[in-house]
Every structure is written in structure tokens, then in C-alpha cells.
Amino acid sequence: MNDRGQVFTLDMFFALTLTALLVSCSGLALEQVRRQMDDYLLRYSLEQTAIKAADVLVRTNGTPADWWTRPTYLETVGLSQNGSDGAPVPNCLSVVKLENLRQLCQANTWERQPNISRAIMGLFDNSEKFEILLIDENTGENLWPPVYPCWDIRPSGADNSLEVIIVKRLIATDVRKENILENLVHLSKPPYYLVY
């Protein structure tokens, strides 16, 4: 009779293989759950940033209240019209402010005046990845040229992004596009449009 024992048996080999397989599958499952949580948190963070930015844009005058006349003092952008008492009229968009914001996002201003670009990006969680559109709710057409950084030299890049958050706000404004002339026309009673 042989006194030496076997160190590995076929049964033990199968047991170790199954244990290693179980541990690796558990690790992969945990990694997948972690990635899903990271994706969810990123998406939630982007949504919250977009929602807050849209609310600030359509419900406030900005800081200072006359930022469009003195852009070097810009702290926060707001696009709402001023009421008779100087208070912002929520969801009533000032096209003058929108166009001034658009001009501030030109490449010349955006790159040469970092204090202005930082103030605008502060609204979007310090990101240059944003686009503001004024779209007619009924027809879906753009009523105003899009606003995004360096719009005069490059496209916004939203078409190539992996994550795009769209926040809609129903607003009133005094501009619409005339079907025949394709010019901007001022109206006495503002229609309602969506801001994307």
C-alpha cells in the first residue's frame, strides 16, 4: 500500500474551477452594476443641469439685471423680459437678450473674453456643450438661429454626442417667422413657443 496521498484529485480540480468561475462571474456582474450606476448618475446630473439652466434662462433677468447692455459685468444669464416694475416676467422671452447671448457666444467674444464665457458656462455646469433653440411648437421650425459656443465657426456637435438632454419650456415671445418673407416679424400679441 502506498502511504503518499494525492494532492490534487479530479474532484478537487473541478471544485476549484467552479469556484474560480463563480468568483469571476460575480466580479463581472458587480462591474456591470457599477457601470450602470455611473451611467445613471451621469444622466441624472446632466438632466438636472439642463433643467436648472432652462429655468434660470426663462424665469430670471440674469445678474446684473441689465447684463446685455454691460456684458463685461455678466454673472448669470437670464432671458426673461422685464415687467413694468422691473421684475422678470417668467416664461416671457426677451429676443434682445437672446440675440445678445448669441453674439456673446461668437468665437471672437467666446475665446477672447474668458470672464464672459465662464459666466455663461457656469449656467451649464462649466461646460461648453450646450445649445439653445427657439422652436415653434406647432411647426417644429427654428424661429431664431441656435445659440452655442463658437456658432459662427463650427457646428454645435449635438448630433455626434452620446448623451443629449432636451429640456422644453413653453414660453411667450414677440417674434415669429413669416412664411412668405422668411423675415423676423414683431407681433403685438406674443404667440407661445418652446425653448429646447
What residue spans define the domains of the chain? 12-195
Q: How confident is the model at residue 182 (pLDDT cuts 50, 70, 90)?
A: very low
User: How high is the pLDDT of residue 4?
Assistant: 63
In this predicted structure, the answer to whether residue 18 has a pLDDT above a threshold of 50 is yes
In 3D, which of 191, 57, 55 has the Cα closest to residue 136? 191
The reported pLDDT for the residue numbered 3 is: 60
Prediction pTM value: 0.73
46 sits in which H/E element? helix 10-59
Which neighbouring-strand residues pair with 81? Answer: 89
pLDDT-based confidence at 83, cuts 50/70/90?
confident
pLDDT in tens, 109-155: 898 999 999 999 999 889 888 999 988 888 888 888 999 999 889 88
Residue among 101, 91, 123 nearest 193 (CA): 91
State residue 8's pLDDT score.
Answer: 65
120 Cβ partners below 8 Å, 6+ apart?
Answer: 74, 77, 101, 104, 105, 149
The conformation of residue 90, written as its DSSP 8-state character, comes to E
Please check the confidence at residue 175 and state whether its pLDDT lies above 80.
no
